[in-house]
Amino acid sequence: MMMFHHGYGIAGFFNSLLMIIMMALPLIILVWTAFYLFDRVNKKEPPIDSCSSTLDIRLARGEISIDEYRKLKNKNRATKPPAG
Protein backbone atom coordinates (compact mmCIF):
# COMPACT_ATOMS: atom_id res chain seq x y z
CA MET A 1 0.00 0.00 0.00
CA MET A 2 1.34 3.40 -0.97
CA MET A 3 1.38 6.21 1.56
CA PHE A 4 1.29 9.84 0.52
CA HIS A 5 3.06 11.66 3.26
CA HIS A 6 4.74 14.88 2.28
CA GLY A 7 5.40 16.12 5.76
CA TYR A 8 2.92 19.01 5.74
CA GLY A 9 0.35 17.50 8.06
CA ILE A 10 -2.63 19.69 8.97
CA ALA A 11 -0.76 22.77 7.72
CA GLY A 12 -1.15 21.48 4.15
CA PHE A 13 -4.92 21.47 4.57
CA PHE A 14 -4.99 25.00 5.98
CA ASN A 15 -2.62 26.25 3.28
CA SER A 16 -4.94 24.82 0.61
CA LEU A 17 -7.95 26.37 2.29
CA LEU A 18 -6.18 29.73 2.55
CA MET A 19 -5.23 29.54 -1.14
CA ILE A 20 -8.86 28.92 -2.15
CA ILE A 21 -10.08 31.81 0.00
CA MET A 22 -7.44 34.18 -1.34
CA MET A 23 -8.34 33.26 -4.92
CA ALA A 24 -12.06 33.72 -4.33
CA LEU A 25 -11.79 36.95 -2.32
CA PRO A 26 -10.96 39.28 -5.27
CA LEU A 27 -13.84 37.78 -7.26
CA ILE A 28 -16.25 38.28 -4.36
CA ILE A 29 -15.07 41.88 -3.90
CA LEU A 30 -15.43 42.56 -7.63
CA VAL A 31 -18.98 41.17 -7.76
CA TRP A 32 -20.00 43.05 -4.60
CA THR A 33 -18.56 46.31 -5.97
CA ALA A 34 -20.41 45.88 -9.27
CA PHE A 35 -23.73 45.25 -7.51
CA TYR A 36 -23.14 48.21 -5.18
CA LEU A 37 -22.33 50.61 -8.01
CA PHE A 38 -25.20 49.50 -10.25
CA ASP A 39 -27.61 49.69 -7.33
CA ARG A 40 -26.57 53.29 -6.64
CA VAL A 41 -26.93 54.24 -10.32
CA ASN A 42 -30.38 52.68 -10.66
CA LYS A 43 -31.84 54.23 -7.51
CA LYS A 44 -34.21 57.04 -8.21
CA GLU A 45 -33.28 60.10 -6.22
CA PRO A 46 -36.27 62.06 -4.99
CA PRO A 47 -36.68 65.30 -6.90
CA ILE A 48 -35.45 68.44 -5.22
CA ASP A 49 -38.40 70.22 -3.69
CA SER A 50 -39.07 73.67 -4.98
CA CYS A 51 -40.18 76.43 -2.65
CA SER A 52 -43.81 76.13 -3.70
CA SER A 53 -43.96 72.38 -3.12
CA THR A 54 -42.31 72.84 0.28
CA LEU A 55 -44.95 75.42 1.13
CA ASP A 56 -47.67 73.03 -0.04
CA ILE A 57 -46.32 70.29 2.23
CA ARG A 58 -46.04 72.62 5.22
CA LEU A 59 -49.63 73.78 4.69
CA ALA A 60 -50.86 70.18 4.43
CA ARG A 61 -49.08 69.28 7.68
CA GLY A 62 -50.62 72.26 9.42
CA GLU A 63 -47.27 73.89 10.13
CA ILE A 64 -48.39 77.19 8.61
CA SER A 65 -51.74 78.90 8.26
CA ILE A 66 -53.45 79.71 4.97
CA ASP A 67 -52.69 83.42 5.38
CA GLU A 68 -49.01 82.71 6.01
CA TYR A 69 -49.02 80.31 3.04
CA ARG A 70 -50.40 82.99 0.71
CA LYS A 71 -47.96 85.60 2.01
CA LEU A 72 -44.95 83.31 1.50
CA LYS A 73 -46.23 82.17 -1.90
CA ASN A 74 -46.54 85.79 -3.10
CA LYS A 75 -43.11 86.60 -1.68
CA ASN A 76 -41.67 83.59 -3.52
CA ARG A 77 -43.21 84.73 -6.82
CA ALA A 78 -41.81 88.23 -6.36
CA THR A 79 -38.27 86.97 -5.79
CA LYS A 80 -38.12 84.54 -8.75
CA PRO A 81 -35.88 85.71 -11.62
CA PRO A 82 -37.54 86.02 -15.03
CA ALA A 83 -37.34 82.89 -17.19
CA GLY A 84 -35.16 82.92 -20.26
End-to-end, the C-alpha distance of the chain in Å comes to 92
Q: What is the pTM of this model?
A: 0.39
More confident residue, 78 or 17: 17
CA distance 33 to 50: 34
pLDDT one-digit tens code per residue, 34-70: 988 888 777 766 666 577 788 888 999 999 999 999 9
Nearest to 55 by CA among 70, 36, 39: 70
The answer to whether residue 9 scores a pLDDT higher than 60 is: yes
Distance of CA 23 to the CA centre of its chain: 28
- Whether the Cβ atoms of residue 69 and residue 55 lie closer than 8 Å to each other: yes
